[in-house]
Copies of this chain bind each other. A is one copy, B any other.
Amino acid sequence: MRTIIIVEEMNKIKKTKQREAILEILKNTKSHPTADEVYQKVRQKIPRISKGTVYRNLKLLTENKEVMKIDTGGTEGRYDARVENHYHFRCESCGKVFDVDVPVDTELDKKVSQKTGFNITHHVLEFRGFCSDCQKKAIISPSGDKNKEEV
């Protein structure tokens, strides 16, 4: 009787056109789309793709670090093919998310690690406010008008 040690019993990941299409879409957009937005886009190429497939592959791609999930700001996750750590800005009016290209402060992680004793792997930084478009659109309503009433 021979003894065989199987060193690695790895799950083999098969290449599919669905997953490739999803990755391609994320590589070609800067808008940080939600799962549903990715779904709408990929349907143009693969009309019979199911939403479950989109979710499953977004998760897989995230686990494999081929894309990153932005989990800040409420309910919907957003996806980003730019996988190295970087910062974002989220408009509190329209909800759009933009890249903010200032250097990532890795020293801060070390500093806080020292101070707190936590093992810090990274940090997530999101700026909030109003984007250029929403600033333009903002209409200052005449003071009090809404709640004035004649009796």
1/0 contact string of A89-128 vs chain B (CB within 8 Å):
1011000001010100000110111011111111111111
Of A29-37, A41-49, A50-58, A71-79, the stretch lying at the interface with chain B is: A71-79
How near does chain B come to A11, taking the closest CB pair, in angstroms?
10
Q: Number of copies of this chain in the oligomer?
A: 2
Contact residue among B8, B120, B129 (Cβ-Cβ distance under 8 Å from A120) = B129
Contact residue among B111, B121, B126, B148 (Cβ-Cβ distance under 8 Å from A5) = B148
1/0 contact string of A1-18 vs chain B (CB within 8 Å):
011111111100000000
A-side interface size class: 35 or more
How near does chain B come to A94, taking the closest CB pair, in angstroms?
12
Give 23 pairs: A residue, B residue, CB < 8 Å, sorted on A: A2-B151, A4-B150, A4-B151, A6-B147, A8-B144, A9-B149, A89-B118, A89-B120, A91-B118, A92-B121, A98-B116, A102-B115, A113-B129, A118-B129, A118-B130, A118-B131, A119-B129, A122-B128, A123-B125, A123-B126, A123-B127, A124-B125, A124-B128
20 further interface pairs, Cβ-Cβ under 8 Å (given A5-B150, A7-B148, A9-B149): A3-B151, A6-B147, A6-B149, A7-B144, A8-B147, A9-B147, A10-B147, A71-B72, A71-B73, A72-B72, A89-B116, A102-B111, A102-B115, A112-B127, A120-B128, A123-B127, A123-B128, A124-B124, A124-B125, A125-B125
